[in-house]
Amino acid sequence: MDKLNVHFHVSVLTVPHFVTADQFPEWLQREALAIQELSEDNGLTIVRLFLAARIREVWPKKKLDGLLQGITDKYPHIFRVEMVVIDDTLDFDEIELIQSDAEDELAQVLETVKQFQELKVARSKLH
């Protein structure tokens, strides 16, 4: 069985209240670069971006989608960017809880994939 030697991680980002809509792209690029630089060679990161509604309202959907796609195109260790629009910034405890829940969710998905692979191998040995 081919095993991928890839480690998935989830990073939670929330835009600080002092970042304006005009500063948002530069802020996001800096955060993405930091994630990229901290990644292991075999690591892929899913970024969960909690975006303040005040910024989302300024950015047209097409431009925002282009910015997020540009992040995954530019930084090979960022597998995907998921965006959730929120009314205000998150505090540290909320970020920790979201991070923990995301890591648990990811672990469950990876366990399901592992079980599927094992079942596939077992079935192939029967035939």
Domain residue limits, the chain = 7-126
DSSP codes, 32-84: HHHHHHH--TTEEEEEEEEEEHHHHTTS-HHHHHHHHHHHHHH-TTEEEEEEE
User: CA Rg, the chain, in Å?
Assistant: 18
The pLDDT value recorded for residue 10 is 85
State the Cα–Cα distance between residues 21 and 47, nearest whole angstrom: 19
Tell me the CA distances in angstroms from 87 to 41, 55, 84, one per residue in order: 36, 10, 10
Local confidence band at 123 (pLDDT 50, 70, 90 cut-offs): confident
The pLDDT tens digits of the residues spanning 27-86 come to 999 999 999 999 888 888 989 998 989 999 999 999 999 999 999 999 999 999 999 888
Q: Does domain 7-126 have CATH number 3.40.50?
A: yes
Residue 1 confidence (pLDDT): 39
What is the average per-residue pLDDT within 90-95?
67
Phi, psi at 16, each rounded to 5°: -60, 155
Rounded CA-CA distance 13/29 in Å is 12
Region 5-12 average pLDDT: 82
Cut 0.85: pTM above it: no
